[in-house]
Amino acid sequence: TVIKSEDGCTELSGSQIKMTDAAGTKRAVLGNNKKNGKFYFTIYDGEGNPAISLDNDGNAVFTGIVSGAQITSGSTINVGTDAVIGKNLILRDEKLSDDGAKISIYQGTSPMLSIQGLGNRPIDISTGGTITLSGNRVEDKNGKRFLTEADLADL
């Protein structure tokens, strides 16, 4: 049995609700996929292409931009393209593990740069190449200078 709204834009058929716009383009579907038994919710763009898809396993696929005041994850976030960080990249090691917070940059499977440290533990910086300091000195937070030209004279 199929039940349609007066304007024909909403249809209920079995375990599925389908909505179209006035031109007949599919805009939203909510229901049960009879092939795999999973429930899903999909919103379509103006051309009828999937824009947002959610399933009963908690999987979500967005074809546009996802934005929010705060987006959190309790697991790894995999990015298949460039990741652009706005103002700050903040790493927190809530469990205070031995490794501390870590930033690693890879080229393929080879680590190119690793920065590691937490709290008052020293920060370790390692690289698969050369580290070039663009300033003319390296200091601690109290202004004590390290790596003067005299330190580098015999290298």
Instruction: Provide the pLDDT for residue 47.
Output: 92
pTM over the 0.85 mark: no
The three-state secondary structure class of 150 is helix
User: For 28-37, what is each residue's pLDDT tens digit?
Assistant: 999 998 888 8
Q: Which two tokens stand for residue 130?
A: 């050369």
End-to-end Cα, the chain, rounded Å:
84
User: For 30-89, what is each residue's pLDDT tens digit?
Assistant: 999 888 889 999 999 999 999 999 999 988 999 988 888 888 887 877 777 777 777 666
Q: Which amino acid, residue 32?
A: N
Q: Which two tokens stand for residue 147?
A: 């790596």
Over range 113-127, report the average pLDDT: 69
Sheet containing strand 60-62, edge to edge, reads: 2-4, 10-13, 16-20, 26-32, 39-44, 50-55, 60-62
DSSP H/E element including 33 = none
Q: Which of 17, 38, 35, 14 is nearest to 26 (CA)?
A: 17
Q: Which two tokens stand for residue 71?
A: 């987006």
